[in-house]
Structure 1
Amino acid sequence: MTQAPFLSIVAPCHNEEEGLREFCRRAAAAAQSVAGDAFELILVDDGSSDATWEIILDLAAKVPQVLGVRLLRNHGHQLASTAGLSASRGERVLLIDADLQDPPELLLMMMPIMERGADVVYGQRTRREGETWFKLASASLFYRALTRLASVTIPRDTGDFRLMRRRVVDILLAMPERDRFIRGMVSWIGGRQVALPYERDPRFAGTTKYPLRKMINFALDAITSFSTTPLRIATWLGMISAGVAVALLVYTFIRWLQGETVTGWSSIMAAVSVFSAIQLICIGIIGEYLGRLVQESKKRPMFMIETILRGSEQTELPAAFSEMSAGDKRAAVDAALASDKPSRPQKNGRIG
Structure 2
Amino acid sequence: MENKPLLWIVIPCYNEEAVLPVTAPLFLNKINSLAAAGKISDQSRICFVNDGSKDSTWQLICDFARKDPHYIGISQSRNRGHQNAVLAGLMEAKDKCDITISIDCDGQDDINAMDRMVDEYLKGAEVVYGVRSKRKTDTFFKRFTAEGFYHVMNAMGAEVVFNHADYRLISTRVLESFADFREVNIFLRGMVPLVGFPSAKVYYERAERIAGESHYPLRKMLALAFDGITSLSVKPIRMIAGLGAIVSLISFIGVIWAIVQAILGHSVAGWASTTCIVCFVGGIQLISLGVIGEYIGKIYMESKHRPRYIISERTWAPYERHYRG
| Partner residue, 1:104 | 111
> What's the counterpart of residue 83 of structure 1?
88
**With structure 2 as the length reference, what TM-score do the two structures score?**
0.91
The aligned counterpart of 1:192 is 198
Provide, for residues 255-312 of structure 1, a one-character-per-residue CA deviation record: whole Å limited to 9, x for no partner: 11112323331121111111111111111111111111000001111111111112xx
Deviations 1:86-119 (A, max 9, x none): 1112101111111111122211121111101111
Cα offsets for 1:159-207 (capped at 9, x unmatched):
1101111111222222101111112111111111111111001101011
Separation in structure 1 between the aligned mates of residue 47 and residue 179 of structure 2, nearest angstrom? 16
Partner of 1:344: none
Indicate the residue corresponding to 1:64 in structure 2: 69
- After TM superposition, the structure 1 stretch with the greater mean CA deviation from structure 2, 142-151 or 234-243, is 142-151
Q: Secondary structure at the match of 1:250?
A: helix
The structure 2 residue matched to 1:148, chosen from 149, 152, 155, is 155
Aligned 1:1-352 pairs, distance under 5 A: 6-34=6-34, 35-88=40-93, 89-150=96-157, 153-310=159-316, 333-334=318-319
Residues 82, 173 of structure 1: 8 Å contact kept: no
The answer (yes or no) to whether the contact 1:31–1:107 under 8 Å persists in 2 is no
- Which residue identity does 1:53 align to in structure 2? W
Q: Distance in 1 between matches of 2:138 and 2:189?
A: 21
Aligned residue pair count: 311
Contact (CA 8 Å) 1:231, 1:286: kept in 2 or not? yes
SS in 1 for 2:201: strand
Identity %: 36
State the Cα distance separating 1:135 from its structure 2 match: 2.1
Name structure 2 gaps, 5 residues minimum. Answer: 35-39
Amino acid at match of 2:277: A
Paired amino acid for 1:49? K
d(CA) in 2 for partners of 1:227, 1:146: 9
In 2, are the aligned partners of 1:5 and 1:40 still within 8 Å (CA)? no
- Contact 2:5–2:41 (Cα < 8 Å) also in 1: no
Give distance in 1, aligned partners of 2:51 and 2:141: 26
Q: Which residue of 1 aligns with 2:37?
A: none
Q: Helix, strand or coil for the counterpart of 2:11?
A: strand
Structure 1 residue 5, shift from structure 2 partner: 7.7
- Structure 1 unaligned residues grouped into runs of 5+: 316-332, 338-352
2:110–2:204 CA contact under 8 A, matched in 1: no
Greater shift in the superposed pair: 123-132 or 137-146: 123-132
